[in-house]
């Protein structure tokens, strides 16, 4: 019996794999050890164990998480999970490996995460063999929801939106400058707050200014990350995450401009990860 987690900064998806082949899914808030207090994870695990998947005791827990790139950041996650599932073998891995397994399976490729944050890796069919450094939402996260949100807010405050878009946004948010900036600079989850503006952008994707912002952000992502990998023109580039999925037409255009091979869009990686790990039950 296995418990699989695909945990981003905004949401976490969980899959329970029973020996008889039955699979159950649950959803909690996400967790990123770089930006979130550990109390958040403990609270969501309380919800998972007590209400969402009650009474289950997995033999193994495979947790793929945002921000889990080194041992130090994996420790609080492993300890929290072990406290809730004391008899389980807990494996905490970077979400990049989860993205690669969910999108590439056992074939070589470049796996990309475009959600609240962004990241990429080169995958040889078994392991992640290269990773262009991810600097987080303050310095990087190109192409991500937080990156798009920042670009849109700049366009709004710098008076670069057309009148219709400016008025539509003010009607949509009904927030003043101080409230927006307080949420950006005074919040522990500023990256999630910034990414929340992509919903409005997606609803107005017919606007040329929105299209320009998204295309430029994706172009920066591809140039600074994907095109840095050796052999990037020879393998498919796969995508996981809500931003990639909902803005895929613009992403395809940015890819085509650079002669990159489009792979698959995995909207719900937890299902693909469940299938990947199902062989562990045999």
Domain assignment of residue 92, yes or no: yes
Q: Is residue 259 part of a domain?
A: no
Mean predicted confidence (pLDDT) in 233-251: 93
Spell out where the chain has E strands.
2-7, 11-17, 23-29, 60-65, 89-94, 109-114, 118-123, 128-130, 237-240, 262-266
Query: Does residue 201 carry a pLDDT above 80?
Result: yes
State the Cα–Cα distance between residues 175 and 162, nearest whole angstrom.
Answer: 19
Residues 28/31/36/38 CA torsion (nearest 10 deg): 80
Residues 6+ apart with CB under 8 A from 146: 116, 117, 137, 190, 191, 192, 194, 195
Can you say whether the dihedral through the CA atoms of 125, 128, 129, 135 is positive or negative? positive
Closest CA relative to residue 41, chosen from 4, 89, 76 = 76
Does any domain span residue 152?
no
Q: Tell me if 56 is assigned to some domain.
A: yes
Q: Examine residue 38 and state whether it is found in any structural domain, yes or no.
A: yes
Helix (H, G, I), strand (E, B) or coil at 186: coil
* Count of domains for the chain: 1
The pLDDT confidence band at residue 38, using thresholds 50, 70 and 90, is: confident
Query: How far apart, in Å, are the Cα atoms of 35 and each of 8, 41, 84, 171, 187?
Result: 12, 12, 22, 30, 10
Note the pLDDT of residue 282: 60
Query: Residue 42 is part of a domain; what is its CATH number?
Result: 3.30.420.40
**Cβ proximity of 245 and 239 under 8 Å:** yes
Which of 75, 55, 68, 53 is closest to 4 using CA atoms?
A: 53
pLDDT classification of 192: cutoffs 50, 70, 90: confident
pLDDT-based confidence at residue 226 (cuts at 50, 70, 90): very high
In a domain, 70, yes or no: yes
- What mean pLDDT, rounded, does the chain reach? 89
Distances (CA, A) of 186 to 32, 178, 183: 17, 11, 6
Question: Which residue's entry shows tokens 């591809």?
Answer: 222
Q: What is the pLDDT of residue 23?
A: 85
pLDDT at position 278 is: 79
- Among the residue ranges 16-20, 58-62, 132-136, 242-246, the one predicted with the least confidence is 16-20
Within 13 Å and on the Cβ side, how many CA atoms surround 181?
A: 6
Please give the residue range of the domain that contains residue 18. 2-99+269-281
Q: Is residue 126 part of a domain?
A: no
Per-residue pLDDT of 252-270, as tens digits, reads 999 999 999 999 998 888 9
Closest CA to 64 of 10, 24, 8: 8
- Tell whether 248 is covered by a domain: no
């Amino acid at each position: 019996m296995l418990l699989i987690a695909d945990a981003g900064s905004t949401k976490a998806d969980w899959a329970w794999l029973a020996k008889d082949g039955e699979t159950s899914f649950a959803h909690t808030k996400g967790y990123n050890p770089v930006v979130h207090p550990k109390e958040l994870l403990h609270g969501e695990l309380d919800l998972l164990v007590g209400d969402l998947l009650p009474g289950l005791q997995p033999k193994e827990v495979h947790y793929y998480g945002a921000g889990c790139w080194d041992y130090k950041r994996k420790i609080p996650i492993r300890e929290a999970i072990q406290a809730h599932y004391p008899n389980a073998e807990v494996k905490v891995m970077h979400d990049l490996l989860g993205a690669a397994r969910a999108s590439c399976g056992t074939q070589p490729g470049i796996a990309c995460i475009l959600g609240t944050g962004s990241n990429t890796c080169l995958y040889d069919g078994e392991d992640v063999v290269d990773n262009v450094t991810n600097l987080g939402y303050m310095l990087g996260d190109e192409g991500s929801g937080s990156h798009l949100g920042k670009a849109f807010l700049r366009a709004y405050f710098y008076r670069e939106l057309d009148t219709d878009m400016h008025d539509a946004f003010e009607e949509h948010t009904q927030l003043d400058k101080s409230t927006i900036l307080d949420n950006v600079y005074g919040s522990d989850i500023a990256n999630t707050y910034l990414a929340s503006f992509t919903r409005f952008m997606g609803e107005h994707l017919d606007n040329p200014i929105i299209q320009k912002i998204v295309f430029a952000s994706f172009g920066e992502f591809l140039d600074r990350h994907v095109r840095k990998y050796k052999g990037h023109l020879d393998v498919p580039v796969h995508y996981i995450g809500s931003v990639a999925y909902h803005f895929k037409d613009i992403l395809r255009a940015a890819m085509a401009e650079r002669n990159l091979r489009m792979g698959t869009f995995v909207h719900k990686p937890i299902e693909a990860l469940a299938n990947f790990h199902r062989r562990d039950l045999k």
